[in-house]
Amino acid sequence: MAATRRPGRNHLFVPGPTNIPDRVMRAMMVQSEDHRSVDFPALTKPLFEDTKAVYGSKDGTIFLFPASGTGIWESALSNTLSRGDKVLASRFGQFSHLWIDMAERLGLEVIVQDEEWGTGANPERIGEALRADKNHEIKAVMVVHNETATGVTSDVGAVRQAIDAAGHPTLLFADGVSSIGSLPFKMDEWKVDCAIAGSQKGLMLPAGLGVICVSQKALKAAETSSGQNDRLAHVYFDWADHQKQNPAGYFPYTPSLPLLYGLREALACLNEEGLENVYHRHHVLGEATRQAVAAWGLKTCAKEPKWNSDTVTAILVPEGVDAAAIIKHAYVRYNLALGAGLSKVAGKVFRIGHVGDMNELSLLGAIAGAEMAMLDHGVKVQPGSGVAAASSYLRENPLSKS
């Protein structure tokens, strides 16, 4: 008779959703309450201010939506742009592709700059396109900061430098769904106008809370577009409705109470660790994973070290090996959830997410499980090599700077 229970816990190493700290889960176990009560702003008003820290912002405005990151993409586009507006976007992975697809379906004209998968946004090409746009018809530049499909991080700061060097007034939008709260993000310094995050990644919450930080420039663009007949339609994602309610600590419709309580606790976790330590920890875990990949004799999807993501590593399997079969086997045999290859890299890579609430021993479990699953499928790696390489690196590089 087949077993009906798996002993132990499921080991979650996809690049989101991520593991939820026990204290955050406890914080979300709340009874329903009146979200119009006089007490409710004591919970919400600090969230609008405290969340800005993970964006590296003091000047931005936070909006919290009961939505996924995809909903927040739509919020950024629909509040600031009008039908037929031109936007410039780099495409180098599944999520940059999906954002472009959304923009086109909303009625925007998208100028697509295709880059090789395994690389990221090219600031030089972006700058060239903006310099050629003499009439400033391009209204926004869209960049995915961290592309989880390929394990690539783009240099948003360099994109901002390219925009400024071109003397172009375009808005800058950054998808930070898998980076904000895990990787350094400098909203104010990089002059990002809309920065998008999802609760299920570095914020260590369940999916369902979409977070956007908006610059004053973007808020003005939203005010301007609201008077145009060809503006992109938006109701649920309308910032103006939130601007009327949020200052007093309320929302234009029913919020997700458990996620708001969870966000408060997750922010406390990040603050207690210290954001610089959070960023350092993710870098160490990412590098340890890459050390394991090298010891296996395999390669990452990222073409050069400068593209390496510290929240997810996409690992290329040898020719003739089905990465999807390795992922399935790891889950069924070892109760280990690895990230699948998407679109162009489907069946060619498996992904180890090293993002969120994670330490050395957590990561070593994922590396050991991935190693066993590969060996079971005939991938010729030296047993124990990845674990040895990663553990040696981790012993020499503490997760905390302090």
- pLDDT given at position 175: 98
CB atoms within 10 A of CB 325: 15
Q: Which helix (H) or strand (E) holds 343?
A: none
Q: What is the pLDDT of residue 3?
A: 56
Q: What is the CATH number of domain 22-270?
A: 3.40.640.10
Q: Is the pTM of this model over 0.85?
A: yes
Q: Measured at the alpha carbon of residue 258, what is the angle toward residues 256 and 264, in degrees to the nearest 5?
A: 105
Predicted local confidence at residue 1, as pLDDT: 44
Domain ranges of the chain: 22-270, 274-396
Residue 356, H or E segment: none
Q: Are 65 and 209 in contact (CB under 8 A)?
A: yes
pLDDT digits (tens, 9 = 90+) for 39-49: 999 999 999 99
pLDDT beneath 70: ranges in the chain: 1-4, 225-229
The CA distance from 268 to 265, in Å, is: 5
For 342-383, the pLDDT digits (tens) are 999 999 999 999 999 999 999 999 999 999 999 999 999 999
Q: How far is CA 96 from CA 80, 142, 194, 356, in A?
A: 19, 8, 15, 22
Model pLDDT, residue 227: 60
The DSSP code for 117 is: B
Q: For residues 335 and 11, is the Cβ–Cβ distance under 8 A?
A: yes
* DSSP one-letter string for 177-199: TTTBTTB---TTTTT-SEEEEET
Can you read off the two tokens belonging to residue 276?
């610089």
HSE on the CB side for 133, CA within 13 Å?
22
DSSP 66: S
**The tokens of 65 are what?**
């939506």
The correct answer on CATH 3.40.640.10 for the domain covering 274-396 is no
Taking the C-alpha atoms of residue 213 and residue 53, their distance in angstroms, rounded to an integer, is: 10
pLDDT score for 401: 84
pLDDT digits (tens, 9 = 90+) for 205-215: 999 999 999 99
d(CA 241, CA 61): 14
Q: What does the pLDDT read at residue 225?
A: 67
For residue 218, what pLDDT is reported? 98
Beta pairing class for 86-91 and 109-114 = parallel
